[in-house]
A and B are shown apart, each in its own frame.
Chain A
Amino acid sequence: MLIPLSILLSLFSAALASPLVKRCSNWAPYILAAVPAGLFLAYAFLVGDISFANTLQYQQPWVPGLNVAFDFQVDGLSLLFLLMITGIGAFILIYAGGYLSKDVKTRTRFYTYMFLFMVGMIGLVSADNLVLLFIFWELTSISSYLLIGFDNENKESRKKALQALLVTGTGGVALLAGFILLGNTAGSYRLSEIIAQGEALATHPLGTAALILILLGAFTKSAQFPFHFWLPNAMAAPTPVSAYLHSATMVKAGIFLLFKLSPVFASHPIWTASLIGCGAITLLLGTISGIFQRDLKRILAFTTMAVLGLLTMLIGIGGELALKSALLFMLGHALYKATLFMTAGNIDHGTGTRDARILGGLRTLMPYTAVAAGLAALSKGGFPPLAGFLGKEYVYKTSSTIDVAAPYITVIALIGNALLLALAFKAGIHPYWSKAVSTVEGKSYSKFLPHKPHEANAAMLAGPLILAIGGLVFGLLPQSVTASLIQPALSAATNTSTEITLSLWHGFSLPLILSITTLIAGITIYWCRETFWKREAFAQEIAQRDTENIYEFIFTQFVRKSKEVTRTIQNGSLRSYLWTIILAAGALVGFKIISLGAIPYSINLESLHLFHYVLIVGLVIAVGFAAFASSLLKALAGLGLLGYGVAIIFATNGAPDLAITQIIVETLAVGLLLFAALRLPAFRKLSSNRNRILDTILASSCGLVAFYMALKASAIELSPTISNQFVEWSYVLAKGKNVVNVTLVDFRALDTFGEIAVIGIAAIGVCICLPVTNLRYLPSAGLSKSIIFSTGARILLPLCIALSVISLYRGHNEPGGGFIGGLICAAGFTLYAFARGTVEALRRLRFTPIQWIAGGLLIALASACFGPIVGKPFMTGLWLPGFELPILGTVHLGTPLLFDVGVYAVVVGFAAQVTFSFLDSSINATSSAPKQDPCSKLTQTATACK
């Protein structure tokens, strides 16, 4: 339960960050830091309980069909990581309180991202399901993208964040593929079960594929060669972020995964070769590139890379001793690296520069920072009795005991450690203890510094000091730390229960000699720092041959090709899009119809009356008229005729509801088109003759396909079960006699709800396209004002409203209903608006059309909620017992009727909104248009188009 709770708590804190920062900016960092601090304490209580045999587990099914579950397991390894994540996290949050600007927006963003990142890390190290682990893995990628690109107004910063995201994200995809292979090979997605199967998996042929893919994921995340380049670039992040990402979290995720899976793959030759090989290259590349750097953060970033390489190498060597030294080294590194980054941030804050060459003599001006940095640098350099010393000793112990390639690994470790020491001194000793470059006014600080240095505030000192002292404590009490933290982690990483001991004195053995050599070599290199700085060009030379170039090449090619493809496919010509869509759809349907064989249909012309022929011929003429008319007015007449004709088809074929709806809709549509026509230019011939012929061919083919499809559809005898069921249930279950209406408001009410929502959205869309200005439609400005029209509309409006309410009420049993009622009501208001202006119509409507729509949707939703209240499914129709009323007879009230009221209101709001919008915009068109002759403008464009 602890882990899900931690995750929820951190997520909650992410949400809480914004109000907290707004309310109490000063205390917010401390309050927020209490969250990881509390979690740290909670995890600390587990120390001692968690062992190889005893792990903390939590299981909760999520998507069982896909093997995804909320399974968590905290073993010794997870616990060690959890302690680092939360312990260092708490100090980082406090530090950021002093480091970041007081800007509320900046702080809110920082704390929200940090907590999201923390959620990702906590979940990652404790997930016991491969898919769950992947989800948290991706969460860390995304939140670190946001953190690295925190300074999002800086183009470079964005570019580097994107680079980190793309590299780790690509690795993430490979990791997912590897996890799926691993899960399917093992027959389980539970990490603990997979690990329990041990090395048997590695010998499986798919095991190798899974291993390579997983290594891609781990190497990209932990910045191993050849994917290392993103890490030094990621220091574009604010210092607290770098301190967190580099020390305890992000980059350690890959290392964590390698630790976790080492029981499975440790004996695989690819595992050993690639881990040792890539790790060694990364170690050397990191230290050698770092030695030429002047920027404090950059120096530290390269050492992070180097340490990750060393850890990878150790895990690759495998075996108890190597893993133990890796764990010791990692813990020491987390403590000193966080400290060094924070002290570098203090220098940046206090002096305005991070350039190591001009820094010097800060020990008197920034004494506390100097102490913290000095302790951390000594630890990093491997001086006893600090944490780093233990790690380094064990690295040498490992390298001197392995069987193969021992000399090479020993030499690589020696070079790496010596350079790390030099780098540690450059970042942690040099700025404080080396002589100031010159003395100004008796104060020993460099004149090159942008401003006079000052010591950092308490919030920025607490973290570095405590973590540095933590390193000292660890170094002084190695046995108890090892027994309580390292040993459970080691037994998890080796999958065996081991008792380990820590011995630091081995007599004058090889490790001691190597240690002394490291010290001498490292200090010598540090002494020559100026020489290296002068040869900065060499570092650039390395960078020019770096694998980053390959990334850049792929990236730019990708962008170029994408642009090309986009330009080809999305060329901006509506015609070509439509051709593609219509041709594809038509060809698919045509192919299907032809492949289904001939139509089992005999044309029965005997039942047809002359009336039918006249109707259809008339409609075809109307279509032709509308399609080929020379002016919009003629086209509208054709459209109107077509609409009414279709209504007649509905009316004569047993669909009175459809006929009524169609007639009102057509009337409104033609009216609105008429008003819109005032704004649109006249018809003109634009297409070339070639296009006209091509379009005609496509159109007639589509027409033929549609004709065939319609014939075939009507010839097929559909299984009438659903319709018959509806007819049977209509009165018995739903208490309605108009089956169409009952279907709309009861059987398929959820559909209808979606449809009225669409109508509401269409109304808002119209409202946005035709923004309402102060100019409102008045009949005098548009149509000629007629007293008869005006008075008629006034009389008709109440009649329409009454009629609409009646058809709404009776719709459940006879033709009518919410749609028809709403349209009748809206027709009354439209007429009123035509005759007397939109302002007055709006007044008579009481509420704005958008309010009608919102209200209608809420009513419909409320009617659907009665079901759950009485314990029945959502949208269940419920009825009150019928009661007698004068005139109306037996009255039935129920939720479907209420739902229909909602439909009614939405339709009224929708129709009113579009009418008013078109009327108002027509007025803008006539009044705001320039005095220029519209015809001359048209002829100009027409000639231009030719």
Chain B
Amino acid sequence: MEFLVSLLIGILVAASVYCILRRSIIKFVIGIAFLSQAVNLLVFTTGGISQAAPPIIQADQTTIIGEHADPLPQALVLTAIVIGFGLLVFTLALAQRATQAAGTDDLEAFRNTEQ
């Protein structure tokens, strides 16, 4: 499974880089969305992927009995998902605003906006 997820991460990063280099601003936003997914998956796989039980202590126990998934990357990724969402909507709002202010969605045309 690690191999396949790593492959997916590679493809996500490639797609993300390609998209954020496009001149169309909405492609840039999509690239950011890809990047969030790629990084979340990357952090998730560092804990080692296994189809093991969730890191939840069974009833009437004080610690997890048997194989279980690593809780630490999960905690990191959980907040990262929400923050990634925050980043995405902020980028989107910024893109919307910038398009409106500059009158174009072409990022190359933005270089003249400061003059």
- Residue numbers of A with Cβ under 8 A of B are 571-575, 578-579, 582, 603-605, 607-608, 612-613, 616, 619-620, 623-624, 626-627, 632, 635, 639, 642-643, 646, 649-650, 652-658, 661-662, 665, 668-669, 672-673, 676-677, 679-681, 683-684, 686-687, 691, 695-696, 698-700, 702-711, 713-715, 717-718, 720, 722-723, 726-728, 730-732, 737-740, 743-744, 748, 751-752, 755, 758-759, 762-763, 765-766, 769-770, 813-815, 819, 823, 907, 910, 914, 917-918, 921, 941, 945
Contacts and interface: CB of A to CB of B under 8 A. Distances in A.
Contacts of A732: 62-63
Contacts of A669: 33, 85, 88-89
A758 B24 CA distance: 27
30 contacts: A574-B110, A582-B21, A626-B30, A627-B34, A632-B26, A655-B54, A657-B78, A658-B74, A665-B84, A680-B95, A681-B105, A687-B23, A691-B21, A699-B18, A703-B11, A703-B14, A706-B13, A707-B7, A707-B11, A707-B13, A715-B2, A722-B72, A731-B63, A732-B63, A737-B56, A762-B90, A765-B94, A770-B96, A823-B82, A945-B109
Query: Closest 3 interchain pairs by CB?
Result: A703-B14, A707-B10, A654-B69
Contact of B71 (A718, A723, A759): A723
A676 B95 CA distance: 10
A918 B85 CA distance: 14
Given A653-B52, A740-B75, 7 more contacts: A574-B111, A620-B8, A714-B5, A727-B57, A730-B57, A740-B71, A755-B79
Contacts of B50: 653-654
A743 B5 contact: no
B18 A627 contact: yes
A819 B82 contact: yes
Interface in B38-69: 38, 40-42, 44-57, 61-64, 68-69
B40 A646 contact: yes
B75 A737 contact: no
B90 A740 contact: no
A726 B79 contact: no
B56 A661 contact: no
A639 B15 contact: no
Contacts, number: 312
B104 A941 contact: yes
Pick from B56, B87, B114 the residue with the most CB of A within 10 Å. Answer: B56
Given A683-B26, A706-B10, A706-B13, A815 B33 contact: no
Range, interface on chain B = 35 or more
Contacts of A698: 17, 21
Nearest to A681: B105
Nearest to A646: B37
Contact of B1 (A612, A639, A646, A823): A612
B55 to A, nearest CB: 4
A574 B90 CA distance: 18
A814 B8 contact: no
Pick from A572, A656, A739, A744 the residue with the most CB of B within 10 Å. Answer: A739
B4 A766 contact: no
Nearest to B49: A653
B72 A723 contact: yes
Contacts of B3: 603-605, 711
B14 A653 contact: no
A710 B110 contact: no
A744 B78 contact: yes
Given A668-B85, A710-B10, A699 B21 contact: yes
B78 A642 contact: no
Contact of B27 (A623, A683, A691): A683
A710 B45 CA distance: 7
Contact of B89 (A700, A707, A766): A766
Contact of A627 (B6, B15, B75): B15
Contacts of B20: 578
A394 B5 CA distance: 88
A575 B85 contact: no
Given A681-B105, A706-B9, A739-B56, A718 B47 contact: yes
Nearest to A738: B56
A623 B41 contact: no
Given A571-B111, A680-B26, A665 B83 contact: no
A37 B110 CA distance: 59
A914 B10 contact: no
Contacts of B27: 683
A819 B79 contact: yes
Given A723-B71, A743-B75, A815 B54 contact: yes
B62 to A, nearest CB: 5
Contacts of A657: 54, 74, 78
Contacts of A730: 57, 63, 71
A680 B27 CA distance: 11
B22 A676 contact: no
A654 B54 contact: yes
Contact of B5 (A710, A720, A814): A710
Given A654-B55, A740-B75, A679 B99 contact: yes
Contact of A575 (B21, B29, B62): B21
Contacts of B113: 572
B107 to A, nearest CB: 5
B1 A607 contact: yes
B35 to A, nearest CB: 10
A491 to B, nearest CB: 62
Nearest to B89: A914
B23 A575 contact: yes
A778 B30 CA distance: 28
